[in-house]
Structure 1
Amino acid sequence: MTDLWHQLVLIWIHHPARFQEYLAEMAPIVTRYGGAADQIFTPTAIQADGLTTPDAANLVHYDSRTAFDAFSADPAFLKIKHLRDTSVDLRTFDGRLTQANPTRPGADRVYLIEIGHAPELVEPALTSDDRRTEYTLDVEPTCAADRPLNRVRISSFPSPAQRAAFDCAHDPTGIIRIDTVLSPAPNLPSSPS
């Protein structure tokens, strides 16, 4: 694919006003490193032990891993990082996309984010169960050291009924599943980890 460095960022917001302040101050900093959102999702449910439904799930990118590291060390970012740290809880999955097959903008689809192990999350882009795999993110081993989950798959379905039928036919054991809807495209850059 490309050298872009991607993250799936799960966000639990505790102080919305402070987080908005952080996003506004972060925007001009992150854009210098190619930081931007690919997709913004609004989670509606989660199937995972010990996790509550996040307020947002963002697929974001930077120009490269080096650019992401430079952004993370930028003094201007470090000066405002406390705003993020005191307003949200984050869980990130970082790596490179091995598949990008997004649905055209405006398509009315139901989305599913799955986080698990590579063997369980390998399938073609279009399947017989009407699921369309839109993104596959291979999580870098150094970023997954504290958790064994090494692949993210973002899929869409044409209707809630087809999404429900998928659950009946596929065992979710060991996989975090987040049901989402696609949020309107924001004018804000990505939310870094």
Structure 2
Amino acid sequence: MRIIAALPDASAEQETNGHRRASTQDIRAKEQIMGFHRHLSTAALAAAAALTLGAAGAWAQVSPTQEDRSQLAADRAALARERAGAAADEARLRRDKAEGRMAAESKDSMRVYRDQRAITGIKKDLAHDRPGTLQDKTDRAFLAGEHKALASDTKRLERNRAQGRMEATSPDAARVQQDRRAIAGQEKAIAEDKADLRADQRKK
């Protein structure tokens, strides 16, 4: 019995060759895609570099005098805003004081106000008390205590006002003080800007 060697199947070989050609085409396609992405990345980096260099070049073209003038204009605009804000806060302070609002009163001034109210109330009670009674003696003792508290709180208010402490400053007044400090700061900045401009002129 003869053994006949199996010949390779032609269709199988063609299929294998087809797979090889397909794989080669896939590899080439992937290489083309990768090359395209590399091209895009390079172009993007080049564009970013150009923008950076362009911005740096534009910045380098600004002279010190132009910078100082721009800063002066900005500080003047800020000063105008601070003055407008200060005018509004001062008007609010006057209005709140006239209407007796808490925003116009400090902690120390409110203590004095409460002491005064208490004294007024006790005096009204004493007017209805029979002299020499226990109620009369009690109210008089309360009145003496409130007078001592009023004297102490008044001294505290005056001391804290002299030292510029917040306890003697109302919220409205505190805003006005902040506005005034901001205005002083802007005026100082403007003076410095003008000095810088004069220095630039001397260098020319």
For this structure pair, what is the TM-score category when the shorter chain's length is used for normalisation? under 0.3
Higher helix share: 2
Q: Tell me which protein shows more strand as a share of its residues.
A: 1
Q: Between Structure 1 and Structure 2, whose CA radius of gyration is higher?
A: 2
